[in-house]
Amino acid sequence: MQMRERLSLALKEAMKAKDRDRLSTLRLINAAIKDREIALRAEADPIDLGDGEILAILGKMVKQRQESARAYEEGGRLELAEKELAEIKVIEEFLPRQLTGEEVSAAIEAAVAETGAASIRDMGKVMAVLKTRYTGQMDFGAVGPIVKSKLV
């Protein structure tokens, strides 16, 4: 099932169940996807976002909510932090399983071998391979320094 179909089905189910919090988060997801499509429409011909782009949007949304929750906790606003964490749980339902540390290391090794990367100049090639295969499954902010250390 395509990502859009899954989101649409979940939205309908949340409406039927009258789950206001889940419905709100699903609407935020749809709004973020539509915003991205509008931005792309201004750049080129109208296109529908594929699953890879939607996964990237969802990953970004999770990261934003994690940062917000952390800020709310530091500010003593626990009820707002809990709301952000609840939204993260709903968004993560649509993301693939996160890779373990060992799986991330193996993926990096395979990408380095596949691209023939030998120096830090080849880091972009390695990251491109990882992003095409593992979008939504690993945190590329954390993976970047690991790849860099292997190529130095």
Across all residues in the chain, what is the average pLDDT?
88
The full set of domains in the chain, from first to last, is 3-92 (1.10.1510.10), 101-151 (1.10.10.410)
Torsion angles phi and psi, residue 24, rounded to 5: -60, -45
**Tokens 């296109």 sit at which residue?**
47
- Confidence (pLDDT) at 1: 59
Between 92 and 137, the higher pLDDT residue: 92
Model pLDDT for residues 63-120, shown as the tens digit of each residue: 899 999 999 999 999 999 999 999 999 998 998 888 888 888 899 988 888 888 888 8
- Burial of residue 44 (number of CB atoms within 10 Å: 0-12, 13-18, 19+): exposed
